[in-house]
Chains A and B, each alone.
Chain A
């Protein structure tokens, strides 16, 4: 009997780090947008942008890693439709973690506000100031974020279903501390 493989440490680290940063950026955004104008609100906007830039950079690293490192194979019990659904979901999630920070960056540039990462590194302005375009990009940025929220709920539900109901190793492959279950191995 052999132990099922896990994702690499780098893949697991990037997955949870990006999740934590997106969760923080999302929560901060929901909290900050309706605050009355204050120095604190400006700080929150700056932090939100820094989180976004960090997610964007890590997402690119992660996609590079994924393209050069095969994920651990599934157990034989995982149905074909599940594999296809998983593949499609992962592609969309990867796209979202790149596109969402990008729409934020575009929105900020169209609004005439440059992005200065960590108050130190000024990123290039991707667009010239255009009020109507900024409003459109804001709507796109917000909509994509709620779409991502829905996808994350489905993604987590699937992971938890595998862990608690199917009791297989799908979720454990992405957990840093818990060892995969012995037994149900058998590779595809």
Chain B
């Protein structure tokens, strides 16, 4: 009897712990995921890609508020398909990747917007400066994977990206669009219910 009691107590404790646990982390499929940015030079949209980043994501569309996400982007992996521009971009006046190698975003709040759409809000730190950003995104599951797609604008000068002559926004606009397409393995235990 005593042992049964103990088992029951343990089960109850386990249940409490399980419910309080955040949604299980999903593994990111990096070869299918992309983080890109679109800047405008003389009003010409030009896309570049961050080839390396790491992300920790735990998201259940049924309970978005419990979701967690963190993203670390390797700024030196910036690639705009032009060696000269790549060198300039990671240099002192732009990302200064030697002193500030990563940009970090941490999700603070995730809320549903309805019909597969959500919004994530949180601090984005680049080049030692932090500003809150919010990004609407869509979530869909297909073929054993879950896909997050979203985009949000940042003002590059708020992060001191583009110093000196590059402060001029007539040539390179202040607003830069960040786009993410993150693919993770589908099906958290909670989502499978």
Instruction: Report the minimal beta-carbon distance from A90 to chain B, rounded to whole angstroms.
Output: 35
Which residues of B (6-52) have their CB < 8 Å from a CB of A?
41-47
Q: Does B65 contact A (CB under 8 A)?
A: no
Q: Does A119 contact B (CB under 8 A)?
A: yes
- A46 cross-chain contacts in B, Cβ below 8 A: 41-42, 44
Q: Does B54 contact A (CB under 8 A)?
A: no
- B171 cross-chain contacts in A, Cβ below 8 A: 39-40, 42-43
Partner of B45 from the list A111, A114, A129 (CB cut-off 8 Å) is: A114
A115's nearest neighbour on chain B, judged by CB, is: B44
Interface 9-residue window, one of B80-88, B124-132, B146-154: B80-88
Asked if residues A116 and B44 are in contact (CB atoms below 8 Å), the reply is: yes
Given known A-B contacts A39-B165, A42-B42, A131 and B85 have beta carbons under 8 A apart: no
Pairs A–B under 8 Å by Cβ, sample size 8: A37-B84, A39-B170, A39-B171, A40-B171, A42-B42, A111-B81, A112-B47, A116-B43
Q: Does B133 contact A (CB under 8 A)?
A: no
- B109 cross-chain contacts in A, Cβ below 8 A: none
- A37 cross-chain contacts in B, Cβ below 8 A: 84-85, 88
Asked if residues A116 and B42 are in contact (CB atoms below 8 Å), the reply is: yes
- B46 cross-chain contacts in A, Cβ below 8 A: 112-113
User: B residues bordering A, Cβ < 8 Å?
Assistant: 41-47, 81-82, 84-85, 88, 165-166, 168, 170-172
- B42 cross-chain contacts in A, Cβ below 8 A: 42-43, 46, 116, 119
Seed contacts A43-B171, A114-B44, A115-B44; 10 additional CB < 8 Å A-B pairs: A39-B170, A39-B171, A42-B172, A111-B81, A112-B47, A112-B81, A114-B45, A119-B42, A119-B43, A119-B44
User: A residues bordering B, Cβ < 8 Å?
Assistant: 37-40, 42-43, 46, 111-116, 119-120, 129, 131
- B43 cross-chain contacts in A, Cβ below 8 A: 116, 119-120
Asked if residues B172 and A113 are in contact (CB atoms below 8 Å), the reply is: no
Instruction: Report the minimal beta-carbon distance from B41 to chain A, rounded to whole angstroms.
Output: 5
Asked if residues A39 and B44 are in contact (CB atoms below 8 Å), the reply is: no
Partner of A113 from the list B44, B88, B165, B166 (CB cut-off 8 Å) is: B44
- A115 cross-chain contacts in B, Cβ below 8 A: 44
State A161–B166 Cα separation when bound (angstroms). Answer: 50
- B88 cross-chain contacts in A, Cβ below 8 A: 37
A129's nearest neighbour on chain B, judged by CB, is: B81
**6 A-B pairs with least C-beta separation:** A39-B171, A46-B42, A119-B43, A116-B44, A37-B88, A42-B171
Instruction: Report the minimal beta-carbon distance from B66 to chain A, rounded to whole angstroms.
Output: 39
State A114–B43 Cα separation when bound (angstroms). Answer: 10
- A131 cross-chain contacts in B, Cβ below 8 A: 81
- A116 cross-chain contacts in B, Cβ below 8 A: 42-44
State A113–B80 Cα separation when bound (angstroms). Answer: 10
Instruction: Report the minimal beta-carbon distance from A98 to chain B, rounded to whole angstroms.
Output: 23
A46's nearest neighbour on chain B, judged by CB, is: B42
Instruction: Report the minimal beta-carbon distance from A126 to chain B, rounded to whole angstroms.
Output: 15
Instruction: Report the minimal beta-carbon distance from A122 to chain B, rounded to whole angstroms.
Output: 8
State A111–B41 Cα separation when bound (angstroms). Answer: 14
State A113–B171 Cα separation when bound (angstroms). Answer: 15
- B81 cross-chain contacts in A, Cβ below 8 A: 111-112, 129, 131
Instruction: Report the minimal beta-carbon distance from B169 to chain A, rounded to whole angstroms.
Output: 10
State A111–B171 Cα separation when bound (angstroms). Answer: 19
